[in-house]
Amino acid sequence: MAGNALVEAIKPIVKLTNIAGVLNGIGSFSGAFAVPPKYKKPVMLAAADGVGTKLRLAVKSGILNTIGIDLVAMCVNDIICNRGEPLFFLDYYASGRLKINSAKQVIEGIAAGCVEAQCALIGGETAEMPGIYHYNDFDLAGFAVGMIEEEDFLNPPKPQKGDRLVALPSSGLHSNGFALVNELLLGRMKMSLNDIFDGENLINLLLKPTEIYVKRFKAHRSDIKAVAHITGGGIVENLPRSLPKNIQAVIEKRAIKTPAIFTLLGKYVEEKEMFSTFNMGVGMIWVVDKNNAQRVADSAGGYIIGELIEGEKQVVFN
C-alpha cells in the first residue's frame, strides 16, 4: 500500500522534529504527547488552517518542498497570538492518487516548519479520493496544539494608550490573497512564472514560505502585551482582534516597509483593498510598552509602525 510505504519513507524526517514530550512515533492510530511538567494548570490551545490557493502554484510549478512550511506557519503563528507555546502538529494530505515522492517532499517541508517552530510532528493522515482530486492536485490541512498556563491565559497583559506597535516583516505574500495574485499576475498582466521580478524568478518569490515567528516570540514574551498574526483581512482586520475595547491602533503608513511585489499588485488594486487583502510586508504585529519598544524591535528584527490611543477599536492609517 502506498500509504504504508509513505509512512516508512518519512519516519526519519519526522524523527527530526521530536522534542521532549513525544511518546510514540508515527504509524500508530494516534500520536501521544505528555504535558510538559513546567505547567501547573495547563490550558490547551488549538489551531487549524490550510494554505489556500497558493497550493495551486506549488502544484503547477512542481515545487513542493516549501508549501508544508506555510502550513505549519499558518497554525503556529496563530497559537502564539494567544501567548501559547506550540507543542505538536498533525497534517492531512488528500489526493486523487497518492504519489509517494510528491507527498514526501510536502512532508519534508512540514517537518522543516516544525523544527523552526520547535514543535513535534506526531501524526497525520493521507487520503486517496479519485473523482474528488484529479491529476497532480492535492489538498493540505494542518492542526497545531499548544499550551499556556491558565493564569497567563485568563489574565494576559493589557494593551493601553501609549503602547507601541512593533511590526515583524513578512517574507512576502505569505499564504493569503493568491486568488487575486493569480488573476492579476498570470491573467491580466500575462506574466510567466519564470519571469524575473525584483531580482528573482517570479515563482520563487510567490512560493517563498510564510515566516514562522515562534522563536522570536519566545525570546521576547515577557515584553509583549499582545500579538496579531497578519493573514487574510490584512492589518485592518487582524490587529483589532488583539486589542481591548476603546483602544485604537494608529499606524504610520509611510513607516511600513512594503516589498516590491505589493507595489506591483497595487497598480491594479485600490489601496484600501490592498490593505484588507494582503499583509503589505507586515507578517506579525506586537504591542509593546513604549519604554521597551525600540529595544524589542531592534532585537527581534522588527520596527515601530505606530501606537495605541483611546478610541474606537479599529485601525487608523496616517
Which CATH number does 2-154 carry?
3.30.1330.10
Query: To which residue does cell 488552517 refer?
Result: 49
pLDDT in the model for residue 85 = 97
pLDDT in the model for residue 155 = 95
Give me the sheet containing 120-128, strands edge to edge: 42-49, 138-149, 85-95, 120-128
pLDDT in the model for residue 272 = 93
pLDDT in the model for residue 298 = 98
pLDDT in the model for residue 156 = 94
Q: Which residues contact 118 (CB under 8 A, 6 or more apart)?
A: 19, 86, 214, 215, 218
Whole-number Å distance between alpha carbons of 55 and 68: 10
Which CATH architecture best describes the domain 164-317?
A: Alpha-Beta Complex (3.90)
Calculate mean pLDDT across residues 35-49: 96
The DSSP symbol for 186 reads I
pLDDT in the model for residue 11 = 86
pLDDT in the model for residue 9 = 80
pLDDT digits (tens, 9 = 90+) for 158-176: 999 999 999 999 999 999 9
Whole-number Å distance between alpha carbons of 289 and 248: 15
Instruction: Locate the domains of the chain by residue range.
Output: 2-154, 164-317
> What is the 3-state secondary structure of 238-257?
HHHHHCCCCEEEEECHHHCC
Task: List, in sequence order, the alpha helices (H) in the chain.
Answer: 2-15, 54-61, 67-81, 100-117, 150-154, 178-181, 202-206, 214-220, 234-238, 260-265, 271-277, 293-300
pLDDT in the model for residue 24 = 84
pLDDT above 70 (res 1) = no
pLDDT digits (tens, 9 = 90+) for 84-129: 999 999 999 999 998 989 999 999 999 999 999 999 999 999 999 9
Burial code of 89-106, b = ≥16 C-beta within 10 A, e = fewer?
A: bbbbbbbbebeeebbbbb
pTM of the model: 0.95
User: What is the share, in percent, of the chain residues with pLDDT greater than 90?
Assistant: 88
Q: Do 2-154 and 164-317 agree at the fold level?
A: no
Calculate mean pLDDT across residues 302-311: 97
